[in-house]
Amino acid sequence: MPIQYYIALSATLFCIGIVGVLTRRNAIIIFMCIELMLNAVNLLFVAFSKMQPITTAGAGVATNNTALAGIDGQVFVFFIMVVAAAEVSVGLAIIVMMYRNTHSVDVNFLNRLKN
Amino acid sequence: MSITEILFWFLSVLALVSAIMVLISKNPVHSVLWLIATFFAISGHYILLNAQFIAIVNLIVYAGAIMVLFLFVIMLMNLDAAIEPKRSLWMKFAGVISGGLLLAVLLSVVRTSVDLNNKTAKLNTGEIGLIKNLGNTLFTKYAVPFEISSVLFLSAMVGAVVIGKRN
Amino acid sequence: MNLVYLVPLFPLLGFLINGLLRKSLSKSLIGIIGSGAILASFIVSIILFLQVKADGALPVNPLFTFINTGTFKIDFAFQVDQLSSIFLLIITGVGFLIHLYSTAYMHDEDTMHFGRYFAYLNLFVFSMLLLVLGANYVIMFIGWEGVGLCSYLLIGFWFKVDNYNAAAKKAFIMNRIGDLGFLLAIFWLLQKLDTVNFADVFVNYKNLSQADITGITLLLFVGATGKSAQIPLYTWLPDAMAGPTPVSALIHAATMVTAGIYMIARSNILYSLAPVTENVVAIIGLATAILGATIALKQNDIKKVLAYSTVSQLGYMFLGLGVGAYTGAVFHVMTHAFFKACLFLGAGSVIHAMNGEQDMRYMGGLRKWMPITNITFLLSCLAIAGVPPFSGFFSKDEILAAAELQNPVLYYIGVAGALMTAFYMFRLYAATFLGNFRGSHEQEHHLHESPSAMTIPLIILAILALVGGFIGIPEVFAKDAHWLEHFLAPVFLQSKALQPEHLGDSTQELIMMGIVTVLIIAMIIWAWSKYSRYQPTTEQESGLGKVLENKWYIDEAYNGVIVKPLNSLGSFLKNVVEKSGIDGIVNGTGRFVQYSARQLRLLQSGQVGNYILFMVLSIVVLFLIFWNQGIIISFIQKIF
Any CB–CB contact under 8 A between B143 and chain C? no
Test A11 with B110 for CB contact under 8 angstroms: yes
Q: Is residue C415 over pLDDT 80?
A: yes
Report field, pTM of the whole predicted structure over 0.80: no
Test B98 with C617 for CB contact under 8 angstroms: yes
Task: Give pLDDT, residue A58.
Answer: 33
More confident: C339 or C604: C339
Task: Give pLDDT, residue C478.
Answer: 64
| Contacts across the A-C interface (CB distance below 8 Å) | 28
Q: What are C301-312's pLDDT values in tens digits?
A: 888 889 888 888
Q: What is the mean pLDDT of residues B39-60?
A: 91
Any CB–CB contact under 8 A between A21 and chain C? yes
Test C609 with A25 for CB contact under 8 angstroms: yes
Q: Indicate the residue type of B7.
A: L
From chain B, the residues in CB contact with A20 under 8 A are 22-23
Minimal Cβ distance to C620: which of B87, B95, B102 = B102
Give backbone dihedrals phi and psi of C534, rounded to 5 degrees, phi first: -80, 130
Q: What is the mean pLDDT of residues B145-159?
A: 91
Q: Is residue B19 over pLDDT 90?
A: yes
Q: Is residue B82 over pLDDT 60?
A: no
- Banded model confidence at residue C514, pLDDT cuts 50, 70, 90: confident
* Count of CA atoms in the C-beta half-sphere (13 A) of C570: 6
C74: enclosing H helix or E strand: strand C73-78
Task: Give pLDDT, residue B80.
Answer: 62
Distance from CA of A113 to the nearest CA of C (A): 4
Task: Give pLDDT, residue C503.
Answer: 62
Q: What is the mean pLDDT of residues C538-544?
A: 62
Any CB–CB contact under 8 A between A85 and chain B? yes
From chain C, the residues in CB contact with B101 under 8 A are 617, 620
Query: Where does chain B have alpha helices with state H?
Result: 3-24, 28-48, 52-57, 67-77, 89-112, 131-140, 143-164
C61: enclosing H helix or E strand: strand C61-68
From chain B, the residues in CB contact with C616 under 8 A are 98-99, 102
Low-confidence ranges of chain A (pLDDT < 50): 56-63
Give backbone dihedrals phi and psi of B120, rounded to 5 degrees, phi first: -145, 160
Q: What does each C-alpha distance from C407 to A77, C401, C402, C477, C553 come to in angstroms?
A: 115, 10, 9, 23, 31
Q: Indicate the residue type of B104.
A: A
Any CB–CB contact under 8 A between B32 and chain A? yes
pLDDT > 70: what percent of chain C? Answer: 94
Q: What does each C-alpha distance from B34 to A22, A32, A87, C469, C518 come to in angstroms?
A: 19, 11, 21, 125, 135
CA trace torsion C183, C184, C190, C193 (10° rounding): -130
Give backbone dihedrals phi and psi of A94, rounded to 5 degrees, phi first: -65, -40
Kindly tell me the sign of the dihedral angle through the C-alpha atoms of C83, C89, C92, C93.
Answer: negative
C422: enclosing H helix or E strand: helix C408-433
Q: Indicate the residue type of C305.
A: V
From chain A, the residues in CB contact with B5 under 8 A are 1
Test A22 with C608 for CB contact under 8 angstroms: no
Q: Is residue B4 over pLDDT 50?
A: yes
Which of C45, C39, C18 has the alpha carbon at shortest distance from C30?
C18
From chain C, the residues in CB contact with A107 under 8 A are 607-609
Any CB–CB contact under 8 A between C618 and chain A? no
- Please tell me the distance from the alpha carbon of residue C50 to that of residue C61, in angstroms, as a whole number: 19
Q: What are C547-570's pLDDT values in tens digits?
A: 777 777 777 777 777 778 888 888
DSSP reduced 3-state for B141:
coil
- Banded model confidence at residue B81, pLDDT cuts 50, 70, 90: low
- DSSP 8-class letter at C63: E
Test A77 with B35 for CB contact under 8 angstroms: no
Q: Is residue C168 over pLDDT 60?
A: yes
- Banded model confidence at residue C479, pLDDT cuts 50, 70, 90: low
DSSP reduced 3-state for C134:
strand
Q: What does each C-alpha distance from C126 to C6, C10, C183 come to in angstroms?
A: 11, 8, 21
Which of C565, C552, C365, C396 has the alpha carbon at shortest distance from C465?
C396
- Banded model confidence at residue B127, pLDDT cuts 50, 70, 90: low
Any CB–CB contact under 8 A between B65 and chain C? no
Q: In this structure, how many other beta carbons lie within 10 angstroms of the beta carbon of residue C508?
A: 11
Task: Give pLDDT, residue A55.
Answer: 54
Task: Give pLDDT, residue B14.
Answer: 94
A51: enclosing H helix or E strand: strand A51-53
A window 15-44, beta carbon within 8 A of B: 15-26, 28-29, 31-33, 35-36, 39, 42-43
Any CB–CB contact under 8 A between C632 and chain B? no
More confident: C203 or A86: A86
Q: Indicate the residue type of C315.
A: G
Angle at C356 between CA C353 and CA C357, to 5 degrees: 90
From chain A, the residues in CB contact with C601 under 8 A are 115
Q: Is residue C571 over pLDDT 90?
A: no
Structural domain spans, chain B: 3-81+88-129, 130-167
- Please tell me the distance from the alpha carbon of residue C312 to that of residue C413, in angstroms, as a whole number: 13
C64: enclosing H helix or E strand: strand C61-68
- Please tell me the distance from the alpha carbon of residue C226 to that of residue C232, in angstroms, as a whole number: 8
Query: Where does B25-65 have alpha helices with state H?
Result: 28-48, 52-57
From chain A, the residues in CB contact with C608 under 8 A are 107, 110, 113
Distance from CA of A39 to the nearest CA of C (A): 19
Test C609 with B91 for CB contact under 8 angstroms: yes
Minimal Cβ distance to C607: which of A18, A21, A111 = A111
Test C607 with A21 for CB contact under 8 angstroms: no
Q: What is the mean pLDDT of residues C391-400?
A: 84
Task: Please give the class, per CATH, of domain B3-81+88-129.
Answer: mainly alpha
Any CB–CB contact under 8 A between B109 and chain C? yes
Q: What does each C-alpha distance from C455 to C121, C127, C364, C425, C450 come to in angstroms?
A: 20, 27, 20, 21, 6
Q: What is the mean pLDDT of residues B24-30?
A: 87
- Banded model confidence at residue B129, pLDDT cuts 50, 70, 90: low
pLDDT > 70: what percent of chain B? Answer: 83
Task: Give pLDDT, residue A61.
Answer: 37
How does strand C73-78 pair with strand C61-68? antiparallel
Minimal Cβ distance to A18: which of C601, C605, C616 = C616
Angle at C312 between CA C311 and CA C317, to 5 degrees: 95
Chain A: list its partners (3+ Cβ pairs within 8 Å).
B, C
Residues 6+ apart with CB under 8 A from C309: C292, C293, C296, C340, C343, C384, C421, C424, C425
pLDDT > 90: what percent of chain C? Answer: 2
Beta partners for C301? C359
- Please tell me the distance from the alpha carbon of residue C198 to that of residue C135, in angstroms, as a whole number: 6
Angle at C118 between CA C115 and CA C122, to 5 degrees: 135
From chain B, the residues in CB contact with A84 under 8 A are 62, 66
Which of B40, B67, B18 has the alpha carbon at shortest distance from A31?
B67
Test C620 with B101 for CB contact under 8 angstroms: yes
Task: Give pLDDT, residue B11.
Answer: 92
From chain A, the residues in CB contact with C605 under 8 A are 111, 114
- Please tell me the distance from the alpha carbon of residue B99 to that of residue A17, in angstroms, as a whole number: 9
Residues C215 and C188: beta-carbon distance below 8 Å: yes
From chain B, the residues in CB contact with A46 under 8 A are 45-46, 49, 51, 54
Minimal Cβ distance to B122: which of A25, A36, A52 = A52
Test C616 with B98 for CB contact under 8 angstroms: yes
Chain B: list its partners (3+ Cβ pairs within 8 Å).
A, C
Pick from C599, C607, C615, C618 the residue to mutate for testing the A interface (most A CBs within 10 Å): C607
Q: What are C490-508's pLDDT values in tens digits?
A: 777 777 777 666 666 677 7
Structural domain spans, chain A: 3-52+67-107
Any CB–CB contact under 8 A between A67 and chain B? yes
Any CB–CB contact under 8 A between C609 and chain B? yes
Specify the CATH number of the domain A3-52+67-107.
1.10.287.3510
From chain A, the residues in CB contact with C613 under 8 A are 22
- DSSP 8-class letter at C75: E
- Please tell me the distance from the alpha carbon of residue C240 to that of residue C171, in angstroms, as a whole number: 7
- Banded model confidence at residue C477, pLDDT cuts 50, 70, 90: low
Test A19 with B95 for CB contact under 8 angstroms: yes
Q: What are C49-94's pLDDT values in tens digits?
A: 888 888 777 777 777 777 777 777 788 888 888 888 888 888 888 8
Residue in C with minimal Cα distance to A112: C606
Beta partners for C75? C65
